[in-house]
Structure 1
Amino acid sequence: MSAESLVKMANQIAQFFANETDTAEAVRSVRQHLQSFWTPAMRQELSVWQHQHQGDVLHPLVQAALSESASS
């Protein structure tokens, strides 16, 4: 799957959870969705893309979810 498709899908997931009033809960929800429904290869490719592009077009919730996943 292309990195552009992964970015688009990740941003759509974040948009879904963006209405959550608790930002920490929204980040956890995005992270949980990625861990539950994406393959490890998809998550790895998105993470590599984020590091190469400094997350330019990634929704802030996705950026935070990826950062938390990397530190856990």
Structure 2
Amino acid sequence: MSTENLIKMANQIGQYFSTESDHALAVHGVQQHLQNFWTPAMRRELKAWLDEHPDGELHVLVRAALTEAVAQP
């Protein structure tokens, strides 16, 4: 899968969870979704892209989900 598609899908996930008013719960939701529905290779590719493009256009919740320790609800 192309990195562009991963970014697009990740941003859609972030947008979905942005309706959660509690930031920690929203980040946890994104983390859980990526863990449950994305392959490890997809997660690694997106994380590698973020490492190379720290200012890239990635939803703030997705960015947090990839960089913060696993959130606890």
Q: CA deviation at 1:68?
A: 2.2
Q: TM-score, normalised by structure 1?
A: 0.92
Give unpaired runs (5+ residues) of structure 1.
none
CA change 1:8–1:52 in 2 (3 A) is same
CA change 1:10–1:61 in 2 (3 A) is same
Q: TM-score, normalised by structure 2?
A: 0.91
Matched residue, 1:44 = 44
Q: Which has the higher contact order (CA 8 A, sep 6+)?
A: 2
- Matching of residues 1-72 of structure 1 within 5 Å: 1-68=1-68
Higher helix proportion: 1
| 3-state DSSP of counterpart to 1:27 | helix
Identity of aligned residues (%): 59
| 3-state DSSP of counterpart to 2:58 | coil
Give unpaired runs (5+ residues) of structure 2.
none
Instruction: Tell me which stretches of 4 or more aligned residues in structure 1 moved more than 6 Å.
Output: none
CA RMSD of the aligned region, Å? 1.3
